[in-house]
A = this chain, B = another copy of it.
């Protein structure tokens, strides 16, 4: 009975699984890179000794992952995989678990805290002006309280990501946005941000962040951002402990 332990499980991979792996091998063996055309489905099928169906499903997977692009009715070529794109289709807050949502919300805060150096490195006058406009529009409608309407919030922080000049980061935050909104709304239901007590009596507004971005340093900006995000940090850390 004990001897059964020696028996290693046989590969239970489906044909499609195997073909997918073989295809990836094939691309590597032949040094195929983005832009290169690949053989047609039928050729793969006959050479691999499987039906076109199987080849097609394997190719479809790689296409779904963004590794292959299908020129309709003409052929397929390898493609530079688009990392972010895969997220987009599944980044639906209603389908993600609460734990993942929490993680993603935290991730966004980490990004905001960590991007300071890139902002200062890449900021331009034009962008500062645009940010200025956003803040002014905000001030015109705001009551001076801590709570902003969600769209103003999004506009301001979105602009920051844009200034970072990192496309991947920018698109990534675009994906995190629905999550942010989702959690934000849930959060503001629980308690009233207007009433929130900032540790030093004042809260850091978008205006202050902007001024800081203009004349400050990455270091001062990080500290300002930390205080700007304080309600969120507080919320996360408190809830984690209760």
Give 9 closest A-B pairs by Cβ, nearest first.
A114-B114, A113-B114, A103-B168, A110-B114, A64-B64, A81-B90, A86-B86, A61-B64, A103-B166
Complex Cα–Cα for A90 and B80 (A)? 10
Q: Say whether A83 faces chain B, with CB atoms less than 8 Å apart.
A: yes
Contact status B226-A28, CB under 8 Å = no
For chain A, the count of residues having a C-beta within 8 Å of the partner chain is 56
- Given A114-B115, A169-B106, A97 contacting B34 (CB threshold 8 A): yes
Q: By the criterion CB–CB under 8 Å, are B80 and A168 in contact?
A: no
A-side interface mostly: helix
Q: Give bound CA distance, A83 to B118, whole Å.
A: 26
Which chain A residues numbered 55 to 88 have a C-beta less than 8 Å away from chain B?
57, 60-61, 64-67, 72, 78, 80-81, 83, 86-87
Binds B, one of A38-46, A131-139, A216-224: A216-224
Q: Which residues of B contact A10 (CB under 8 A)?
A: none
When the two chains form their complex, are residues B168 and A107 in contact, meaning their CB atoms are under 8 A apart?
A: yes
Copies assembled:
2
Answer whether residue A184 sits at the interface, using C-beta atoms and an 8 A cutoff.
no
In the assembled complex, the CB of A97 is this many whole angstroms from the nearest CB of chain B, namely 5
Asked if A107 contacts B33 (CB within 8 A), the reply is no
Structural contact, B219 and A226, CB atoms closer than 8 A:
yes
Q: Does A155 contact B (CB under 8 A)?
A: no
- Verify B86–A87 contact, CB threshold 8 A: yes
A30 at the interface (CB under 8 A from B): no
Contact of A113 among B33, B34, B66, B117 (CB under 8 A): B117
Chain B min CB distance to A171 (Å): 9
Closest CB-CB distance, A79 to chain B, in whole Å?
A: 9
Instruction: Say yes or no for A4: interface residue by CB 8 A criterion.
Output: no
Q: Within the assembled complex, what's the spacing in Å between the Cα atoms of A110 and B116?
A: 8
Q: Which of A94, A95, A116 has the most CB of B within 10 A?
A: A95
One of B28, B86, B94, B166 near A28 (C-beta < 8 A): B94
Judge if A129 is at the interface, Cβ distance under 8 Å: no
A109 interface contact, C-beta 8 A? yes
A100 interface hit (Cβ, 8 Å): yes
Given the known inter-chain contacts A60-B61, A65-B89, A166-B103, please indicate yes or no for A114 contacting B117, CB distance below 8 A: no
Whether A233 is near chain B, meaning CB under 8 Å from some CB there, is yes
Of all chain B residues, the one with the shortest Cβ separation from A218 is B226
Residues of B within 8 Å of A166, CB to CB, are 103, 106-107
